[in-house]
Structure 1
């Protein structure tokens, strides 16, 4: 199964860092948060990634293009017949990473629509490139496959500044983008969709936000289900939130590190 990661936003609430690099490349423990997200999914046997690039996307391209050099021992043979021989391996062997330019100013719905050509399976995962959690991806996928609807969103319960989910059992009745006050589950990302969602609910408009019209319509049509997550979940939108995640990693108590 493929995972689409939304990596193109400008990260305006974290301008002290995103002025120089895209938010998914901000490091926790010396590795980009994007890498942490990919390691989480790899633990659950999802190793085929499609990255939706936009703002400063070249930094993400350079990171993966030079990944072997960054992570392996190697010998360089100089001269006319020279070359490079890698002397070690890394734990990310087997990853497939497609880096797709989806527009400098496009919103999330447009970005997802523009990688449609790379999604050749019926079901795919989607998440944001700036949040981590101890999400059981395998159970999330199994839940999605059990209910037969077009979409599943992971619902979490942190502070109320994200899209609130009005639910009835496992069914999402309404999707409200960033309400001022919230008491219920909120959009934690970590979605699973059927490919039909791309054709019926998305188009190519730059200003198409996934969290507004598409998900609101999907919920109104009874095609969006919620998978409640009671464990750790934390976005990284500000320096304060980065400091929290970095501190957890440095003390060896990072709940999202489910891999060995």
Structure 2
């Protein structure tokens, strides 16, 4: 099963890093977040990737073209222009990089992968989110309902402290610092966490237009048609939107407490 990764946006909220590189190439512990995402899928045996590039796409291409030598131990003899490789470090990945346009929106990028996916079930995610989602369980759930798409829904950490206030006199009964969405409520707080499983049918919901945003008309259409299901993930999930997010992820990685790093 192929894995599509959206990796073409500008990442403007992380401009400290993305002025010089695309967001999926921002590093956590010396490796691009794109590498971390691919390692999650590879842990479960999914090693064929289609990276949908756009902004500064050449940086992503150069990374994979030079991957073999980047992480291997080598000796270069500059007298005769020869290279000897000692310890080889590589991944069992097949990576297709599609340039989908500088300003193309998510729907337009996904649609361009149709000839590469053809009539096969495939997976899809964003190039800036990490999770410890159980991929085999996600796929099993997707197959059980036999519809076009399964979206992994997550409960993000809150941005503010939560108060439980007694209505009668205003007394604060409890305070929780930056809680996750309220699991006691049926649908409270759940958001799109990426990590989709898709049938080729989803392409029929995407307009042939570079300005098509996948999270708007296509997902609304799938939901209205009863073709979109949610796989609720209660574990770790984090999106790298800001420099603070990057620093938090880096701290997790360096401390040896990175929940997404299932391969370690």
Instruction: Give the TM-score normalised by structure 1.
Output: 0.86
Whole-Å separation in 1 of the counterparts to 2:191 and 2:78: 56
Contact 1:156–1:228 under 8 Å retained in 2: yes
Contact 1:7/1:52, CA 8 A, preserved across alignment: yes
- Residue 236 of structure 2 corresponds to residue 232 of structure 1: yes
1:13 and 1:77 map into 2 onto residues whose CA distance is 44
CA distance in 2, matches of 1:188, 1:83: 47
8 Å contact from structure 1 (residues 160, 183) kept in 2: no
Following the alignment from structure 1 to structure 2, what is the Cα–Cα distance between the partners of residues 115 and 75?
39
The answer to whether the aligner puts 1:185 opposite 2:183 as a matched pair is no
* Alignment RMSD: 1.8
Deviation at 1:61, TM superposition (A): 0.6
* Residue 143 of structure 2 corresponds to residue 145 of structure 1: yes
Partner of 1:165: none
Q: Which residue pairs with 1:13 in the alignment?
A: 13
SS at match of 2:97: strand
The answer to whether residue 218 in structure 2 is matched with residue 220 in structure 1 is: no
Counterparts of 1:62 and 1:249, CA distance in 2: 25
CA distance in structure 1 between the aligned counterparts of 2:251 and 2:77, rounded to whole angstroms: 41
What residue in structure 1 maps to residue 54 of structure 2?
A: 54
**Which consecutive unaligned segments of at least 5 residues does structure 2 have?**
160-186
Indicate the structure (1 or 2) with the bigger Cα radius of gyration: 2
The structure-2 alpha-carbon separation of the partners of 1:183 and 1:160, relative to structure 1 and needing over 3 Å to count, comes to farther
- Tell me the equivalent position of 1:158: 156
Matched, 1:116 2:121: no
Please, which of 129, 132, 137 is the counterpart of residue 131 of structure 1?
A: 129
Q: TM-score, normalised by structure 2?
A: 0.85
Q: Size of the alignment, in residue pairs?
A: 237
Q: Measure, in 1, the Cα distance between the counterparts of 2:227 and 2:158.
A: 24
